[in-house]
Amino acid sequence: MRLQHYFTIIAIFVICGCGVNEKDIRRYGREGNVDLLVRTIEKGYEEPKQHEKVKLAINQLVKRKEDKVWNYLLYRFDRGFSDDLIRYTLLAPSSVSDLNTLQKQFLQHIKEANYTEAQTWLSIAGGAGIANEEIPVPVQEQLYLTLNTHSRLDSLTKLQQEAEQSIDYYQDKIESARETKGKYFLLRGYIVGQADNGLYEITYFGSRAYLMTTETRFDSRGQFTIWASELMEVPVTLRQEFGGFTQQWKVYREAPSHEIKGMREAMNRISASEDSIEVRQLTIAHLEPVISSQNEAFKTALNRLNSVLEETFGHSNIGVE
């Protein structure tokens, strides 16, 4: 691995010295050495005498059919490629370097609904001064109109999706907050007596139970209202004068202050989340007719592009459902 690293450094040094030849470039292609092919292009495109070598390196890169390679070439268009090299690179994916090749590439982007790629391609070709002769102006104008309507439709659709995702998010928050709030309720009853320290016998709605307090203390019988949660059920055997029966009594636990605070915060989250959901539902209701109208506009623009392509090239490869 270390020797290979040294050889790579030496090769790069040779390239920087413009000592690379066609045999070297073909070898880089066979070995898949993308870095050295890229360096050949970067060094050679500045020197017209090296353009034939640059073309060979471009061909070696394009043969690899890697997105990162094609993206690099697209990026390089804005960094000083001559018109000749731009034209050559646009034609590189095909072995036929003629006018029809450019048209086929352009139409293929549209056929696959790669409108942004088609626009990028057109911008690059236009910058090289070849778009107007290869792709007539009416086609370009209709493409830009189609792209604009598509971009608008895409933006509106994303807004709708974001609103829908937000609703899901707030519904999850409500569910979580309700789980917190659902643990507690206002217990209203009557203190019958003290069973133990912090434990009271109570009645509520005709039932008997125990109340375990955490902060409150009772020193007499009487009515009470307290935030509580159900803790458990325990078996209780009544005294003989009450029949000696064994019953299941519920045990309630007083909610301490910090839990009451958390419960009230949960209630506030529920209210705020419900408000947020309502806003987003209104947003979606507003967007639906707008998106429908924009979708029709896009279909109209795309059909018009289809017609222009038929008028210009005698055939068309696109359509709308």
For the chain, the structural domain boundaries read 1-91, 94-165+273-321, 185-254
The Cα–Cα gap between 114 and 127 comes to 20
pLDDT in tens, 164-222: 999 998 888 888 888 777 788 889 999 999 988 899 999 998 889 999 999 999 999 99
Specify the higher pLDDT residue, 84 or 30: 30
The Cα–Cα gap between 107 and 111 comes to 6
Q: What is the pLDDT of residue 319?
A: 41
**Does the pLDDT at position 84 exceed 70?**
no
The Cα–Cα gap between 159 and 294 comes to 13
Q: What is the pLDDT of residue 200?
A: 94
The Cα–Cα gap between 215 and 253 comes to 10
Q: What is the pLDDT of residue 45?
A: 66
What number of other Cβ atoms are within 10 A of residue 92's Cβ? 20
- The answer to whether residues 251 and 165 touch, using CB atoms and an 8 Å cutoff, is no
The Cα–Cα gap between 127 and 54 comes to 20
The Cα–Cα gap between 174 and 255 comes to 21
Domain range 185-254, CATH architecture: Beta Barrel (2.40)
Nearest to 39 by CA among 59, 51, 22, 54: 54
The Cα–Cα gap between 243 and 236 comes to 12
Handedness of CA 7, 8, 9, 15 (dihedral sign): positive
Residue 82: strand, helix, or coil: coil
Mean model confidence pLDDT for the chain: 76
The Cα–Cα gap between 292 and 106 comes to 28
Q: What Cα–Cα distance (Å) separates residue 183 from each residue in 116, 227, 254, 313?
A: 53, 10, 11, 71
